[in-house]
Amino acid sequence: MSIGSTIDGSRRLRLPLVAILTAVLALFGSAAIANALFTTTATATVTVAVPTPIAPRPAIVSCVNNNFGILQVRARFTWTAPAGTTAELKEYVIRAKDSAGVVTELARPLKTTTTVDFQAGVVGGLFSGLLALIAGGAQPLITINAVFGAYESPSAFTYRLSSAGLLGLTGVGCTLVPA
């Protein structure tokens, strides 16, 4: 009796186990083994930097004494547009910096402009006040820069204006300031 119970007990244990294994194999079979997927990962980290854009400066800036006599004292600035970038050129900006370091924006010429006169005298001009300062012995620094969107060249040409002798007779002196 005890032997029979052991056999029956073993069968009772084995039958469900066999049934489960059969079901698992029937469900997945050999295909499951062939399709077992194993995964892996890899990463690559890259640091990307975009520095501040450096706008090109106007090319060949010159400043010449263009004095027409006592009534037409003027200095003429001439430049050419930065090569190859005129499509994005917005305008120019002219600034003066006095001996105290105070910077004053004098004008924003159109992008088509390539000449500006610092003129004083009877006719007067945009910068007559500046020339009056020069007559008083001041030597302001003048920069002419190109403007691209929100950016300007960090290395625009700078000229020092000064009185070339008796203002009105010998005109305005222009000196390029080394960068």
Partner 1 sequence: MTRRRNVAIRTGVVLVWLLAALAGAGIARAAWADSEPISRQRLTTGRVGLTANGSATAAIGPITITPSFAGPVTQHFPVTIANVGNVGLTYQLDNITAAAPTNALFTTGLTVRVSKVTGSAACTGTNPGTTIIAAGSALPTATFALRPPLPPAGSEFLCFSLTIPLATNALFREGSVALTLHFHGQSL
Q: Name the site residues for partner 1 (rule: CB under 8 A).
A: 4, 8, 11-12, 15, 22, 25-26, 29-30, 33, 36-53, 55-56, 84-85, 88, 90, 148-149, 151
C-alpha atoms less than 13 angstroms from C-alpha of 176 in its C-beta half-sphere: 11
Residue with tokens 């300062």: 133
Long-range contacts of 160-168 (CB under 8 A, 24+ apart): 161/63, 161/75, 161/118, 161/130, 161/134, 162/134, 163/134, 163/135, 163/137, 164/65, 167/73, 167/131, 167/134, 167/135, 168/70, 168/73, 168/121, 168/135
Which CB sits closer to partner 1, 88 or 98? 88
Distance (Å, whole) CA 58 – CA 111: 11
What's the one-letter identity of residue 58? P
Which CB sits closer to partner 1, 37 or 100? 37
For residue 106, the minimal CB distance to partner 1 (Å) is: 24
Which CB sits closer to partner 1, 131 or 146? 146
Which CB sits closer to partner 1, 11 or 71? 11
Which CB sits closer to partner 1, 90 or 160? 90
For residue 48, the minimal CB distance to partner 1 (Å) is: 5
What's the one-letter identity of residue 140? P
For residue 40, the minimal CB distance to partner 1 (Å) is: 5
For residue 115, the minimal CB distance to partner 1 (Å) is: 23
What's the one-letter identity of residue 59? A
Backbone angles phi, psi at 58, to 5 degrees: -60, 145
For residue 99, the minimal CB distance to partner 1 (Å) is: 34
